[in-house]
Structure 1
């Protein structure tokens, strides 16, 4: 990921720090839990795009799935940036580790 992406992630983290009614470890825990909420939304969108719920039919589009997946990724990066000042470095190292393990 480029530097600008991480700058935006950090700006969003800082904004959340300023706006959140909770702080410290509770704020960190809430940001990690938010990933679960976003995952639920992508799961709902996927069900809707695949018409998997006969009661609801085609309630979502594949574009909705794409947007919700982005929300999961963004929420995860913000949570990581909330937990450690080395988020960019740790993410890059972990991505490289997985690539090295998988692509060799």
Structure 2
């Protein structure tokens, strides 16, 4: 297991151990957290474009990048909390997406 997944598993082990909710409900809460992080990306993009009349240019593109990283980390933590081998599952899924994109001649998802 590489350092990234070791760190993700460390993050994944903390909050869920304190929750009294059944495991499936913990996953639902994590889904809401993931959505919250996506909203922060949108807020940062609006700020980077200066499209909020009240705030103007409130964010930079580096802020957007950081928020995207938060989405990725939150998704990886969710995957780790769902059990199994998250690194293997992610790698297999990435392979599937990559193969599908190659067949279409598309490199974006």
TM-score by length of 2: 0.85
- Give the CA RMSD over aligned residues: 1.6
Query: For residues 19 and 48 of structure 2, what CA distance do their matches in structure 1 show?
Result: 33
- What's 2:76 paired with? 77
Distance in structure 2 (CA, Å) of the matches to 1:39 and 1:69: 8
Structure 2 residue 55 is matched with structure 1 residue 56: yes
State the distance in 2 between where 1:21 and 1:68 align: 29
User: Is the 8 Å Cα contact of residues 17 and 23 (structure 1) preserved in structure 2?
Assistant: no
Aligned length: 103
The 2-side partners of 1:81 and 1:40 are apart by 22
Q: 1:97 — aligned with what? A: 96
1:20 CA displacement: 3.8
Structure 1: 5+ residue stretches without partners = none
Q: Give the TM-score of the pair, scaled to structure 1.
A: 0.89
Moved more, 16-25 or 71-80: 16-25
SS in 2 for 1:103: helix
Q: Does 1:11 align with 2:10?
A: yes
The gaps in structure 2 that reach 5 residues or longer are 104-109
